[in-house]
Amino acid sequence: MLALARPFVEICLLRLGPQDLPASPVLLGIALAAHAGLGIAITALYYPFLTAVAVSVTGTVLLGLLAFVLLSVRGLVERFFQTYAAFAGTGAVLEALALPLVALLETNEPAGAASAAGVILTIPWLALLVWSWLVSGHILRHALSVHLTVGIGISMAFFWLSALVIHQMFGSP
């Protein structure tokens, strides 16, 4: 299992790009299952379980839609399996790192006020968020043949747009 995660970790460390993954439907399926599964685990801390499943699946589908639309606009659809797998696999790696932080934030948050522990735990959570934008920007840089800053900008815009869509569909937790 660790051998399967290694290329996604390497992409998270900006050492590999999506082009280094095989264009494999099986790898894509495994990456999607990991992304959705870890997304459910995190989202279930805030939503009822069935809603968490729907939120996670929606987020995973939106990620694929982003990849497909952007690659289509650039005439690079042949890169879809690798790009979507890179998004999903690196998302799963980052979600695995975020899960304990999010769980600790959720259990340390007193009603109505931020605790010192909550503030301290927010810093690594924000670092993971920024890192995820960098990783997604790195993936987009390679997939779309654009500058890294363009990829990061698209990544940040997608983050806010998907949060808005999920909020509109499922409400606040």
Per-residue pLDDT, 95: 97
Q: Which pTM does this prediction carry?
A: 0.92
Tens of pLDDT, residue by residue over 90-108, are: 999 999 999 998 888 877 6
Whole-angstrom CA distances from 40 to 21, 24, 126, 145 are: 25, 24, 20, 32
**What pLDDT score does 116 carry?**
66
Q: Helix, strand, coil proportions of the chain in percent (round to 5)? A: 80, 0, 20
Q: How many domains does the chain have?
A: 1
Of 74-78, 105-109, 144-148, 165-169, the one with minimum mean pLDDT is 105-109
Residue with the larger pLDDT of the pair 37 and 116: 37
Among residues 67, 3, 77, 76, the alpha carbon closest in space to that of 32 is found at 67
Q: Quick one: DSSP state of residue 19?
A: G
Residue 87 has pLDDT above 80, yes or no: yes
Domain housing 71: 2-170
The pLDDT, as a whole number, for residue 3 is: 85
Q: Find, among 161, 163, 139, the residue nearest to 150 by Cα.
A: 139
Cα separation, 26 vs 127, in Å, equals 31
How far apart (Å, rounded) are the C-alpha atoms in residues 12 and 130? 12
Q: Using 50, 70 and 90 to split pLDDT, how confident is the model at 112?
A: very low
Task: State the Cα angle at 133 between 148 and 155, rounded to 5°.
Answer: 75
